[in-house]
Chains A and B, each alone.
Chain A
Amino acid sequence: MTKKRLITLLSVLLGFLVLITAGCIDQDGAQTGTLSENNYETSQKVDVVHLTGEDYGYPQPFTIYPRGPGSSKVGMIFDSLVERDEIGIIPWLAERWDISSDGTEYTFYLRKGVSWSDGEPFTASDVKFTFDYEKEHIPISGGVEPEVMKIVDSVQVVDANTVKFVLSQPISTFIYKLARFKIIPEHIYETVTDPYSFLDPSAVTGTGPFLLDEYNKEHGTYRFVANKNFWGPNTAVEAVEFVPVSDSLIAFEQGQIDFTDISPDTLDRFTSNPDIRIIQQPAFWGYQFYFNMNKRPELGDKRIRHAFAYAIDREELMEKIGRGAGKTGQMGILPEDHIWYNPDQPAYEYDPEKAKALLEEAGWTDTDGDGIRDKDGKKLSYVLSLASGEVRIGELIKERLSKVGIDVQIKALESKSRDVNLNSGDFELGISGFGGWGQDADYLRTRYCDLSSQKENVASNALTFGYHNDTLNALGTQELRELDDEKRKEIVYKMQAVLAEDMPTIPLYYTTSYDAWHISKYDGWMNMYDHHARTHSILSYLERDGIAAKR
């Protein structure tokens, strides 16, 4: 009996051992594999940068996925007429451009001697083709929004290197919009009737600095290699590889990726390493708090909205939930890191007494002693819709608001359901988080102006139900027409002042995480002026000279 027991035990142990050693043997094999690969790299002087990967779709404008950083991969292959650096817009495929005095004609003089990666020459005709083609087939990424497309009456080929956009009305953001407009090759796409299923290798023929060398949808890996015939500055890295990771921090520590963003909690693990550079990202991702003035008319009273701003401790939210990494919300909407941020605006710091005074002034008092203010039989009691990830923000806000006599019930939804409620106006108060706060300040107009011309195209995050301000509308119209950047900046400053006073929504806080990278691996990371992610900028992978010189 004991003998048998021993045998059974041993066989079980043996089974485990076999499994574990099997793993070890494989591991050795894999290690030698990477070692030899490294040797190969050094002998050939091939510089590879490894980044976090996942499947974001085939990197052409029609097949990339709308979720995730797929657009930047399209940008590695395809060029636009203009590009963005750390200061502003720089010439790219267009060497220079003229704008007619009434702002309706844009003439672009294209760079000569540019060719597609298959050797065909790039001409003005490709630009016209891309625009006309994308009117029929709206791209997921790398296009111009349909709203802007409608303003363009025609695109004319003046000669092989000159192309003219004729607009029906001036629009100040036109050049900015073109920075995202990626030109696709006419000689390839002209015969493609369904670009959404065009997965041929020729679909990723671009003029850009990189070529798609390998893409594996199943495993989410991409390998881009330098385009030897690229017209512009030399590439600083020969190849960029995107590999899947389960945890980017650990993968970064183990050297599987060379760049990662890290949360403030884990900063300490990296600060002592001299080979790791840590830089805070600009705060261009934020949480916004919405009022639905249609559903709850009393919210149309500015004093009540102000009371919310004084009663919610935005500093506390940023410290406790943002772990101290972030900037508190500005009532002028644009975050501090925005190039056109107006520093001259009231701060609305946490002040519950002031909030109470404002509510009293507006006639809301607690008549029945239940701790909730009321007026004419109606209570200041609200349902706050948010996504399940934002419950902690909601809880803190609920607690702060209850101290001034405003009652809040939290309704936590799956994020997509919350979006539907917010978009359809089926909410009283709401919270959502999104990026893009660094973009051109024109979003102040699309979000907060209710001009008749933009009624039909409800802009995203324009969730100001029941909000209307004539002054803001007038400024918005002016801002859209003004082609002089300095004058436009002044108008945007005024818009921020109006918004900070009027408070149609409350930006709670803008998050910032930290970027970390191994200096010895690659140190050329740069930030576009309007975007937080360094890895998304094509200039991050190029030598900074010629047109891409550092400014």
Chain B
Amino acid sequence: MIIMAKDRNSLVFRLVITLFVILVINFFLPRMMPGDPFSTTSADEVGEEIIVMTEEQRLYYMEYYGLDKPVHEQFLIYLKNLMKCDLGKSIHYKMPVSNVIILHIPWTILIVLGSTLISTITGVILGTYSAQNRKRGSDRIMMTGMIAFAEVPSFLLGLILLLIFSVHLRLFPLAGAITPFAHYNGLAEQILDILYHAFLPVMTLSLAQLTGVYLLTRNTLITVTTKDYVRTARAKGLGEKTVWIRHALRNALLPVVTRVGFMIGIMMGGVVLVESVFSYPGIGVTLRSAVISRDYPLIQGILLVIAVSILVCNLLVDKIYSKLDPRVAV
């Protein structure tokens, strides 16, 4: 009991330290970027319109948003507000950061979770199939295809899917997360509309993640099937299905679970690009525009939320891991 309590304390302690380091980086990194939210004078793209502020306007807004104070003072104010669960006010969106995040993060969660689910299930199924047919033609073809496929960057994949399914076949919408100005007759219609718009972004992210899961499942399964306990299981006269699912797959899934946990974090990079391609109103494009406009409070807020969700994911992975592999819990 004593040991467990100590463990728990150290876990909490570690989390607090991690969180503090994240807070410091989140706060200072955006401010180290050149420029400030009000000093843009030239456009990023040809033809882009921007309202150029005069020096007087710039100083006025710096004061309004408290950016004229010394940085360490700003940091203390930020921490103090954070204690009150106040993430500050977005400079670009002119509304509380928490509201901006709440508005956009469900869309990202939808496509990230959706694609994690699809890529994991499909990857495990295909990986198992490949492992069972190791060194046969179908396995070789599948593996070569998958590896070649993995080299395609997710935004390019998104563009290809967009071109095929939205532009040529016109099966899916070109952009957005819902039909503009839609008024739904009931929840079912709304859910269908959301799924219809989410389909291509989810497919893009799923396909981008698929190869990793597939390869890991296949290779671990191949290693596992050479282990003594699988041989024992077979020798016991267990059915091939039972051997594969209860003995081989269960053990092979351990690294896959770990990978899925990390994948959610890694996916954030891909999400920004995929959301841009499909003009999907998620947190990725919001972060991008926050960085472009140097919206410090919003950058901090989004990075914090992402960091915390990755921490939570890792904790969950630990939990699931110990369920799958009772040895870890001890």
Contact = CB atoms under 8 A, between A and B. Distances in A.
A23 B61 CA distance: 47
A529 B55 CA distance: 28
Interface of B: 33-35, 38-57, 60-61, 64, 89, 92-95, 103-104, 118, 121-122, 125-126, 128-129, 132-133, 138, 162, 165-167, 170-182, 189, 192-193, 195-196, 199, 203, 240-241, 277-279, 281, 292-294
Given A29-B192, A214-B181, A435-B43, A66 B54 contact: no
Contacts of A23: 165, 171-172, 196, 199
Interface stretch (A151-159, A226-234, A340-348, A412-420): A412-420
The 6 closest A-B pairs by CB, nearest first: A26-B196, A417-B34, A432-B42, A246-B175, A416-B35, A460-B52
Nearest to A143: B57
Contacts of B165: 23
A26 B178 CA distance: 12
A243 B178 CA distance: 11
A432 B171 contact: no
Interface string A43-67: 0000000000110011000110111
B161 to A, nearest CB: 11
A459 B279 contact: no
A67 B42 CA distance: 10
Given A5-B129, A23-B171, A146-B57, A241 B180 contact: yes
29 contacts: A12-B126, A12-B129, A19-B203, A24-B171, A29-B193, A57-B94, A63-B94, A65-B92, A66-B38, A66-B51, A67-B40, A68-B48, A138-B57, A145-B57, A199-B95, A214-B181, A244-B176, A244-B281, A246-B175, A389-B45, A416-B33, A416-B40, A419-B42, A420-B35, A421-B34, A434-B42, A435-B49, A457-B55, A458-B54
Given A199-B95, A419-B41, A434-B42, A22 B195 contact: yes
A67 B93 CA distance: 11
Which of A196, A420, A460 has the most C-beta atoms of chain B within 10 angstroms of its own C-beta? A460
Contact of B47 (A57, A216, A221, A261): A261
Contacts of A387: 42, 44
A197 B95 contact: yes
A434 B104 CA distance: 31
Contacts of A456: 55
Given A197-B94, A417-B34, A419-B40, A246 B277 contact: yes
- Where chain B touches its partner, the secondary structure class is loop
B47 A243 contact: no
A422 to B, nearest CB: 7
A107 interface: no
B308 to A, nearest CB: 22
A256 B279 CA distance: 15
Contacts of B33: 416-417
Contacts of B125: 8, 11-12, 15
Interface residues on A, range: 35 or more
A241 B181 contact: yes
A456 B48 CA distance: 28
Contact residues of A: prevailing secondary structure: mixed
Given A218-B104, A221-B181, A147 B49 contact: no
A461 B56 CA distance: 15
Contacts of B174: 245-247, 250-251, 254, 256
B42 A433 contact: yes
Given A26-B193, A66-B50, A434-B50, A250 B89 contact: no
Contact of B129 (A9, A66, A69, A457): A9
Contacts of A254: 167, 170, 174
Contacts of B35: 416-417, 419-420
A244 B279 contact: yes
Contacts of A218: 103-104, 281
A104 interface: no
A513 B95 CA distance: 35
A223 interface: yes
A15 to B, nearest CB: 7
Contacts of B138: 5
A245 B175 contact: yes
Nearest to B282: A218
Contacts of B118: 19
Contacts of B178: 219
Nearest to A145: B54
A246 B230 CA distance: 51
B51 A30 contact: no
B255 to A, nearest CB: 21
B238 to A, nearest CB: 15
A435 B50 CA distance: 8
A416 B34 contact: yes
Contacts of A141: 51
From B103, B118, B128, residue with most partner A Cβ within 10 Å: B103
B133 to A, nearest CB: 7
Contacts of B57: 138, 145-146
A488 B171 CA distance: 59
